[in-house]
Amino acid sequence: MKVGTQHGSSNEILGLLAAFGVNHICSALPSPRLDKNWSVDALMKLRERVESYGIKLEIVPLPLSSNYITSVENPNIMLGKSPQRDREIDDICQMIRNAARVGIPALKYNLSILGVVRTEPSPGRGGARYSTFVYEKAKQNPALTEAGPVNDEEYWERITYFLKRVIPVAEEYKVRMACHPHDPGMPPDTGFRGVHTVLGSVEGLKRFVEIVPSSYHGLNFCQGTVSEMLEHPQKEILEVIRYFGSRHRIFNVHFRNIRGHFLNFQETFIDDGDVDMLHAMRVYKEVGYDGMMMPDHVPQIPDDPKGYQAFAYTFGYVKALIRAVAAEG
């Protein structure tokens, strides 16, 4: 295992990462559209620039972000609108081919309508601000998103349609496709603003990875988001890691801690949450996971507007945990 990040790929960021000893990354999004920035030449230049800092480009994000449906780059895929979604999927398939041609081993993506839903931040350690979600305080206004009501089976149809088009291409070109869960999970009977977040539960993720049997179809396993799905994260998360890790469906890890549980949680510093992160790291080792352990985001610290201090702290903590479990033999 190795510490990684998705914090960007500007020269400024790459210089900092090299100094921190973070030698594996997910880049910034090349472009929201299939344009020259997704060409083989441009992707090769990106890879070479990253490697010039002694850093390996492990993953590139697709223009399928965790944004709200009106802001996502290719909305028709999750809106289920044909033929528009077919054109967007064609572009995604070409991005997969181009990434493979320059030796990029994995792509990450989301299949989002709601985006990441949060309520007001809460005070954390030392004056930090913790990203927070309390379902009872979340405003469902307006009652429906621009997608209208989307029940379980409608959402599954859109996901399945996408996967059955793109995973065969990924398999042909040997590019792993890492999907992020829905963040946060919502009540399964009512959803949120008319949308049932089918990738917001462990059972939903289990169904997801079985839709297309392929070793190139898996998860951008956000441990924080999965912990948010559980009533007792500190007790339950280890078995969830074992389930997906033993089936080799974890392609990247967002290694984040939380305090709380399903429908009521805070995103904390890595050492200030409910989950024993050393124990979790041991389970990743147990199942043979050898990819990036990545802090996806960190608490806001006063006078640290870019988050560099918080990320540096977290990188060091993750590196220490990796070294500790490696030393255990």
Residue 258, judged by CB atoms within 10 A of its CB (0-12, 13-18, 19+), counts as buried
| N-to-C CA span, the chain | 14
pLDDT by 10-residue block (mean), the chain, 329 residues:
96 97 98 98 99 99 98 97 98 99 99 98 97 97 96 99 99 99 97 98 99 98 99 99 99 99 99 99 99 97 93 98 96
Question: Which of 93, 103, 61 has the alpha carbon at shortest distance from 220?
Answer: 61
pTM of the model: 0.97
Q: What is the pLDDT, as a whole number, of residue 155? A: 99
Domains along the chain with CATH numbers: 2-327 (3.20.20.150)
What is the C-alpha to C-alpha distance for residues 69 and 112, in angstroms, rounded to an integer?
7
- The C-alpha R_g of the chain, in whole angstroms, comes to 19
* Separation CA 14–CA 70 (nearest Å): 31
The runs of H, that is alpha helices, within the chain are: 11-20, 40-51, 76-79, 84-101, 152-173, 202-210, 223-228, 233-246, 277-286, 308-327
The pLDDT score that the predictor gives to residue 329 is 81
Taking phi over 0 as left and psi of -120 to 50 as alpha, with beta for the rest, 211 belongs to alpha
Q: Closest by alpha carbon to 107, among 219, 226, 211, 244? A: 219
Q: How far apart are CA 294 and CA 322, in angstroms?
A: 12
Contact 119, 133 (CB under 8 A): yes
